[in-house]
Amino acid sequence: MTAFKALGLEEHLLNAIADMGFETPSEVQEKAIPILLDRETDMVSLAQTGTGKTAAFGFPMLQKIDVKSRTTQGLILSPTRELCLQITNEMIAYGKYMPGLNVTAIYGGASITDQARQIKKGAQIIVATPGRMKDMIGRGMIDISKIEYCVLDEADEMLNMGFYEDITEILSHSPKDKSTWLFSATMPKEVSTIAKKFMHTPVEITVGTKNVGSDQVSHEYYLVNARDRYNALKRLADANPNIFSVIFCRTKRDTQKVAEKLIEDGYNAAALHGDLSQSQRDTVMKSFRARQIQMLVATDVAARGIDVDDITHVIHYQLPDETEVYNHRSGRTGRAGKTGISMVIVSKSELRKIHTIERMIQKKFVSKEIPSGMEICEVQMFHLANNIKDTEINPEINPYLPNINEVLEDFSKEELIKKVFSVEFSRFLNYYKNSKDLNAAADKSSADSSKDTTRYFINIGGKDDFDWMSLKDFLRDLLQLGKDDVYKVDVKDSFSFFNTDPDKQELVLNVFKDFKLDGRHINVEISKDSGRSGRDRGKKRSSRSGSDRGGRSDRKGNFKKRGSSDKPAFKGKSRRGANRPDSKGTGGRRRRKS
């Protein structure tokens, strides 16, 4: 408490801090609070998520505002509803000994009329998401013309979510002489731009190093073949029985698919993505915070603003397209001084991304192997042993003990132990007894990696406005396959090639039988050069009168950067693929809670 007092905080804030049990300020609080209390200045603060940033700007704002006035004096912008509500609750807790304080949350998905009514009562501090705030300013429901302090919290996240124009519009209604405090985990160009545009010679403080990862998080990667990604995820879950994790996927479709598979295989999992209604999202997050969900499968956008302590693992089912996003993902674990693990499941083609991320976060990844079935059985046995050892005896079992003893009286202590453990061991042993090694070798040649694959010819290409990415997406959607099930897509001028695993061959040929796109028959055949090494794939297919361009230079010209928006609309008839094979997992009994 003495340490907080030394920062210059007044008695009413110190009392609230004591009630919350805080004893020592975090590094960002030590650096930011004295400056913000002593000066009317702009500030850029770079600190990771979970380092106490809310208190770093919250205490100074509360100490500087006039609670006797009903005028709005402070505005805090945050990227998501969850973070908005979290900041609001924390500000109310910090100001519990400030009679007359009104901190109001403004966000989408709730009644705008009720929120306007709260503002009319006199809100000294407004905590808002940019979209709803812009809307209410436009309707004349909120006046921020007299605010003295403005906080842009998680600024990089807000800009990544496309709120630049909203923020610009909001700030245009505020005084130029206000103090603006920008808090961000990373400092991409967009954040630098907004700082230069809206701030005047800001003080900059940095906790750690710009854009580097937290020292509390260790980073691991697991190299697998793309088709084994989901099975690798299950093994990582089974090898960590107490896992409490967020699993990141790139798309809403993959997020839903992975979550459904995990639930089907008996794990306590749920999906979090943009297609959920606000009530569905609230239900999922409530269950996750209560640990009724052990694995939350989420998109990057949907996970922004999640503030849940004690997350043990962040699992990157797929790496993000932008390396800065990795830092935000991994920052969900290793919070409040606790350690965490960031696991990445990668295929060989993604290894280069690992090295790029290493340079950004200035930390090395540890290459680890997906555990074998027997290793998982061993882990699960010792997990059961520790659970038995740590379980307190429930007295309500006493009436049943005589009958239980009678059933088991012929067994020795050693036999009973063997039987108890055999139940759990047999379940995992039966599941994993014929399991293959999922680890891929990083040094295999491209020729080796192209074995056990089927290559197809398709009579659409660049002339049909396809590039490799849009064609891959088209094929995945039509065939109802996963992200990594269609690969080695090579787009020519009037035709293209693509690969799938051999077990998808019947599906591909059946779906494209009599298939038409915009009234044109689309022909798919197994390519005569199926299985060739990469340097041969560009050669002209002799049985087709297509483009005479081949080789490396042609392929290079047809590749486009990720995010290309000229993907043509799909107008063909949709057709579902084969039924998903039965994949009974191991998660059932150990995941269920009473």
The verdict on 393 and 345 lying in the same domain is no
The verdict on 65 and 86 lying in the same domain is yes
pLDDT of residue 548: 36
Residue 356 lies in a domain: yes
pLDDT 10s digits, 128-169: 999 999 999 999 999 999 999 999 998 888 887 788 889 999
Of 385, 414, 434, which residue is a domain's last?
434
The verdict on 92 and 238 lying in the same domain is no
229-238 and 373-390 are packed helices; what angle lies between their axes, rounded to 10 degrees?
30
Supply the CATH number for residue 527's domain.
3.30.70.330
pLDDT 10s digits, 384-394: 888 888 889 99
Of 412, 434, 456, which residue is a domain's last?
434
Residue 38 lies in a domain: yes
pLDDT of residue 580: 37
The verdict on 59 and 197 lying in the same domain is yes
The verdict on 317 and 397 lying in the same domain is no
Which of 445, 217, 416 minimizes the C-alpha distance to 332? 217
The verdict on 134 and 55 lying in the same domain is yes
Residue 569 lies in a domain: no
> Could you tell me if 109 and 80 are in contact, meaning their C-beta atoms sit under 8 angstroms apart?
no
Supply the CATH number for residue 227's domain.
3.40.50.300
Residue 501 lies in a domain: yes
What type of residue is 436? K
Residue 573 lies in a domain: no
pLDDT of residue 416: 87
pLDDT 10s digits, 538-555: 333 333 333 333 333 333
Could you give the CA distance from residue 454 to residue 502 in angstroms, rounded to a whole number?
5
Of 322, 345, 372, which residue is a domain's last?
372
The verdict on 309 and 256 lying in the same domain is yes
Residue 586 lies in a domain: no
The verdict on 147 and 9 lying in the same domain is yes
The verdict on 262 and 183 lying in the same domain is no
Could you give the CA distance from residue 27 to residue 312 in angstroms, rounded to a whole number?
23
Could you give the CA distance from residue 379 to residue 381 in angstroms, rounded to a whole number?
6
The verdict on 281 and 260 lying in the same domain is yes
pLDDT 10s digits, 351-401: 888 988 998 888 899 898 998 888 888 788 888 888 888 889 999 999 999
Residue 440 lies in a domain: no
Residue 21 lies in a domain: yes
Could you give the CA distance from residue 133 to residue 135 in angstroms, rounded to a whole number?
5
Domain carrying residue 476: 446-558
The verdict on 37 and 113 lying in the same domain is yes
Q: b or e along 47-66 (b: 16 or more beta carbons within 10 Å of the residue's beta carbon)?
A: bbbbbbbbbbbbbbbbbebe
* pLDDT tens sequence for the chain (594 residues): 678 889 999 999 999 999 988 888 988 999 999 999 999 999 999 887 667 889 999 999 999 999 999 999 999 999 888 889 989 999 999 999 999 999 999 999 889 999 999 999 999 999 999 999 999 999 999 999 999 999 999 888 888 778 888 999 999 999 999 999 999 877 777 788 888 888 888 999 988 655 555 678 899 999 999 889 999 999 999 989 889 999 999 899 999 999 999 999 889 999 999 888 878 888 999 999 999 999 999 998 788 767 787 899 999 999 988 777 888 888 888 876 778 899 999 998 888 889 889 988 888 998 989 988 888 887 888 888 888 888 899 999 999 999 989 998 888 888 888 888 887 777 777 777 777 888 887 654 433 444 578 989 898 987 788 888 889 889 998 999 987 789 888 777 677 888 999 989 999 999 998 898 888 889 898 876 554 433 343 333 333 333 333 333 333 333 333 344 443 444 333 333 333 333 445 554 444 343
The verdict on 223 and 319 lying in the same domain is yes
What is the count of structural domains for the chain? 4
